[in-house]
């Protein structure tokens, strides 16, 4: 491509190409100009900076008289059920952040005691099933790499992994017991959903890995559009073990969800300028004083998002583990995901 053509390949022209009527910029093709793809254009948006600004806006205290109309508009737009909220009075919430992170009445989400794995949050089931060929489906037909998502296995993770061999797959490195399989479940939290997430089973968290990536939207439409979306986005991977072996819960960030909070992890700071994209930050909960890690009970409060996002469970279980789900169904925290 000639130098004049390279100069013409600019973001402003690309934006105009997609906004103007079809063919309006066709004459530019004669000098070699081609529009940047929609995916590349979207990836260039400074979502981390915008999400950081949105987070600060959420902290601004609203005047008492403005709270009811602002929150009522949000409730109407996203179908929020305030009758489930621990505090129904809209004037109680001083800012948008407090409203997004509202707690529920204790009886609003009973925890199923009959099944071994429950939903950690409210949301929509995007995909679930066995992990095959080291690839996981984010939505039907669109996959991402298991190793890219969880990151490479390291000795610092303090997990009961079997010894790795030069030819072993990443999936086989996670399966600790003979006869077991690796399973996954993806739950999308919409803006109107309850934003806290809980422990999906009885397990012990031994390691946290924080990937500072992008903050692109994770709604189902975008997940179909961008391959390996969950691997591009900022995420917090908690790994450990449960009674059947390896267990992990990953909180995936999204646009305007620059804040992922894990209640027992005070050292975690997401969407921070001090972290560079493409890197990751490890932290072990196994110490000389605590050689077991962080024990979590099924249904126990684990963390929260600001606005909405995605939870991905990846875990080891015997071959007769069965999901009790349908792709696309709505689910609430405490309801059964599956059992033996």
pLDDT digits (tens, 9 = 90+) for 18-77: 444 545 545 655 555 455 555 566 666 776 777 677 778 888 899 999 999 999 999 999
Catalytic annotation present for 210? no
Q: 208 with 282: CB under 8 angstroms?
A: yes
Query: Residue 234: what pLDDT?
Result: 85
Query: Residue 289: what pLDDT?
Result: 79
Q: 218 with 127: CB under 8 angstroms?
A: no
Catalytic annotation present for 276? no
Cα-only R_g, the chain: 22
Catalytic annotation present for 309? yes
- Whole-model pTM? 0.83
Between 219 and 206, name the one with better pLDDT.
Answer: 206
Nearest in space to 159 (alpha carbons), one of 314, 276, 45: 314
DSSP code of 23?
Answer: T
Q: Identify the top-confidence range among 138-147, 215-224, 291-300.
A: 291-300
Query: Residue 309: what pLDDT?
Result: 84
Q: Is the pLDDT of residue 119 over 50?
A: yes
Domain positions in the chain: 41-101, 117-152+170-339
| Cα dist from 146 to 198, 258, 296, whole Å | 23, 23, 24
Query: Residue 192: what pLDDT?
Result: 87
What is the mean predicted confidence (pLDDT) over 114-122? 92
Distance CA 192, CA 12 (A): 34
Looking at 184, 198, 232, 244, which residue is catalytic?
198
Q: Is the pLDDT of residue 329 over 70?
A: yes
pLDDT mean across residues, the chain: 81
DSSP code of 335?
Answer: S
Query: Residue 300: what pLDDT?
Result: 95
The DSSP string of 63-123 is PHHHHHHHHHHHHHHHT--GGGBS---GGG--SHHHHHTPPBPGGGSPPPSSSSEE-SSSE
Query: Residue 308: what pLDDT?
Result: 67
Looking at 116, 122, 158, 244, which residue is catalytic?
122
Q: Three-class SS of residue 210?
A: strand
Query: Residue 142: what pLDDT?
Result: 72
């Amino acid at each position: 491509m000639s130098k004049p053509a390279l100069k013409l390949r600019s973001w402003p022209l690309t934006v105009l190409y997609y906004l103007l009527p079809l063919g309006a910029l066709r004459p530019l093709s004669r000098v070699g100009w081609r529009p940047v793809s929609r995916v590349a254009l979207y990836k260039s948006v400074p979502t981390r900076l915008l999400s950081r600004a949105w987070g600060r806006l959420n902290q601004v205290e609203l005047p008492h008289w403005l709270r009811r109309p602002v929150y009522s508009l949000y409730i109407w737009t996203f179908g929020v059920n305030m009758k489930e909220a621990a505090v129904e009075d809209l004037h109680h919430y001083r800012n948008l952040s407090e409203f997004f992170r509202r707690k529920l009445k204790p009886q609003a989400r009973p925890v199923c005691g009959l099944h071994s794995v429950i939903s950690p949050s409210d949301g929509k089931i995007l995909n679930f099933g066995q992990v095959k060929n080291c690839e996981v489906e984010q939505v039907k037909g669109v996959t991402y790499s298991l190793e890219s998502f969880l990151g490479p296995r390291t000795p610092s993770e303090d997990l009961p992994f079997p010894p790795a061999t030069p030819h072993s797959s990443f999936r086989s490195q996670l399966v600790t017991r003979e006869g077991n399989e690796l399973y996954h479940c993806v739950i999308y939290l919409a803006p109107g959903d309850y934003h806290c997430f809980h422990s999906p089973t009885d397990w012990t968290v031994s390691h946290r890995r924080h990937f500072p990536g992008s903050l692109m939207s994770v709604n189902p439409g975008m997940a179909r559009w961008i391959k390996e979306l969950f691997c591009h986005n900022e995420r917090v991977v908690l790994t450990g073990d449960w009674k059947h072996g390896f267990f992990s819960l990953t909180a995936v960030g999204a646009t305007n969800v620059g804040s992922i909070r894990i209640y027992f992890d005070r050292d975690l700071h997401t969407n921070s300028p001090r972290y560079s994209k493409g890197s990751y930050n490890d932290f072990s909960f196994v110490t000389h004083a605590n050689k077991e890690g962080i024990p979590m009970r099924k249904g126990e409060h684990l963390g929260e998002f600001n606005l909405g996002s995605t939870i991905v469970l990846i875990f080891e279980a015997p071959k007769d583990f069965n999901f009790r789900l349908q792709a696309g169904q709505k689910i609430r925290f405490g309801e059964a995901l599956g059992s033996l």
